[in-house]
Structure 1
Amino acid sequence: MKNWLLIAVGVVLVLVGALWALQGLGYVGGSFMSGAKEWFAIGLVVAIAGLALAVPALRRQLRTPKN
């Protein structure tokens, strides 16, 4: 799998996870997730998974010599 694809998927996971976590804490309203603490935990796990996916791929991308 290409590094740029892993980076893109990781960034999307971080953004979605952050949104879910903020909804779980009640900072973002308008959803059944608003104020539900379990969505904070789910969002946190998803955001961390996105970081775990994107950061190593970004490091590999930056380390790869350009031809």
Structure 2
Amino acid sequence: MSGWFRLTLGLAAVVLGALWTVQGLGHVEDSVMTDQQAWVILGPVLMVGGLVSLWLGMRARSRR
């Protein structure tokens, strides 16, 4: 997997995970995900996966 692909995928995962967390906590109105405990758990899990992907992408880019 290319370093740029991992960086892009990681950034998207971090942003999406943050959005899911905020929606799950009820800070975003008019969403099916508002005040749902599952999104409060899944959001940070996705963010951690995104951070790992960002770290791997940075390592792949620095080796070149």
TM-score, L = length of structure 1: 0.85
Do structure 1's residue 64 and structure 2's residue 63 form an aligned pair? yes
Do structure 1's residue 7 and structure 2's residue 10 form an aligned pair? no
Aligned-pair CA distance for 1:58: 1.3
Q: Which residue of 2 aligns with 1:48?
A: 48
Aligned-pair CA distance for 1:59: 3.2
Unaligned runs of 5+ in 2: none
The number of residues matched between the two structures is 64
Measure, in 2, the Cα distance between the counterparts of 1:40 and 1:49: 15
Measure, in 2, the Cα distance between the counterparts of 1:17 and 1:47: 5
CA RMSD, aligned part only? 1.2
Q: Which residue of 2 aligns with 1:25?
A: 25
Unaligned runs of 5+ in 1: none
When Rg is computed on C-alpha atoms for both structures, the one with the higher figure is 1
TM-score, L = length of structure 2: 0.88
Percent of pairs with identical residues: 33
AA partner of residue 33 (structure 2): M
Write the deviation string for residues 20-40 of structure 1: whole angstroms up to 9, x where unpaired. Answer: 000000111221110111111
> 2:6·2:56 contact (CA, 8 Å) conserved in 1?
no
Measure, in 2, the Cα distance between the counterparts of 1:19 and 1:38: 13
